[in-house]
Amino acid sequence: MNSNLKYVIFAADDLGSSRSVTRAVIEAHDRGIVTAASMMAGGDAFQEAAQGVLERDKLSLGLHVTLCDGRAVLPHESIPDLVDSNGFFFKGPAMTWLSFDRKRVISQVEMEVEAQFCRLEAAGIKPSYIDSHHHLHMHPRVFEVVCRLASQRGVSWIRIPHELAHIAFGLRSRGRGAMPFIEWAVFRVLRINNMRTAEEYGLHCATQVYGLSRTGNIDEKYLLAVLNKISGMTKDNYMKANYVYEIFAHPDLASVPGLRELQALTSVAVSDRLESLGMRRTGYKEISPNDKIYASARKAL
């Protein structure tokens, strides 16, 4: 591989959650820049999503671990502390996060995550990376479970949100109040220990991951600004090696924010800017953990 290159993965979350999201993600891949998509195993449109992605061998697929605000794969009787009587997770990510401090709950989390992996495998899908709905996998106890189960299946990559402060706060969403600051601070604290855990299980993560501070408000202007900023980094430690960046979004045909994100992901201006900046658009399954690109990224973490 050439030196001094920046590799960018454009990821779409929530694939399979609904028909409108599924079709938006596929369109963002077919007509746009999306190279990776993580699937909700309990989503209403999972089967449609599975059929659609199996026809697209250039799309890297991941498991979008879901532990709140969605439907579980296992029945209520198996995971009573995670779901209601109809098998739906509780909606609030904050309360769900706090529940992970109980050992009994973590045991149920492990069973459900295992079942979600199995559902992807039964559909013929071998995930190359893993992330989660509302980033609940970042909870240290859940993170260990997810890493262990992922490593047993040969998954190589896991998302650990990491936005540089001057980019995250300079381009943060309006209307979310202090939430971007809170999320950034919490994940910054958790990141170091979670990286150690990931390494223990042989999992790797991108050098930087963007999208969290602009959740629900990603547009063409944001993508262009992020690409310009990461391309313009001139410090020696950024210029001596290859790096892997992830930018994630949530396209959806049925919502105004989702349509705006789809428009950004299919923007000719963004695609042209990538080319002009000399960045390489890639997917997770195209990057071997033994490659020089990973060795370079690891040194930067």
Q: What is the 3-state secondary structure (H, E, C) of 222-244?
A: HHHHHHHHHHCCCCHHHHCCCEE
Cβ atoms of residues 279 and 270 within 8 Å: no
Global pTM reads 0.91
Tokens of 295: 């060795």
Instruction: Give the span between the Cα atoms of 153 and 147, in whole angstroms.
Output: 10
What stretches of 123-250 show up as alpha helix (H) in DSSP? 140-152, 165-170, 179-200, 220-231, 236-239
Residue at token pair 């960045």: 279
Q: Check the CA dihedral 69-163-149-144 and report its sign.
A: negative
* Through-space distance between the first and last CA atoms of the chain, rounded to whole angstroms: 20
Give the relative orientation of helices 256-265 and 220-231 as an angle to the nearest 10 degrees.
40
Q: What does the mean pLDDT of the chain come to? A: 89
Identify the residue whose tokens are 């969403």: 173
The pLDDT of residue 288 is 65
- Give me the domains of the chain, ranges plus CATH numbers: 6-300 (3.20.20.370)
| Residue labelled with tokens 């919490």 | 186
Query: How far is 195 from 121, CA to CA, in rounded Å?
Result: 26
Reported as a single tens digit per residue, the pLDDT across 259-300 is: 999 999 999 999 999 999 988 899 999 886 555 555 444 544
Sign of CA dihedral 43, 45, 49, 50: positive
For residues 79 and 73, give the distance between their C-alpha atoms in angstroms, rounded to a whole number.
10
**pLDDT score at 173:** 59
205, 247 in Cβ contact below 8 A?
no
CA–CA dist 145, 1 (Å, integer) = 34
pLDDT of residue 132: 98
Query: For residues 21, 22, 25 and 28, what is the CA-based torsion angle, rounded to 10 degrees?
Result: -100
- List the chain residues with pLDDT less than 70: 1-5, 171-177, 233-242, 288-301
CA dist 211 and 265 (Å) reads 13
130 residue type, one letter: I
Three-state secondary structure call for residue 42? coil
At 32-68, the pLDDT tens digits run 999 999 999 999 999 999 999 998 999 999 999 999 9
In the block, tokens 């063409």 appear at: 220
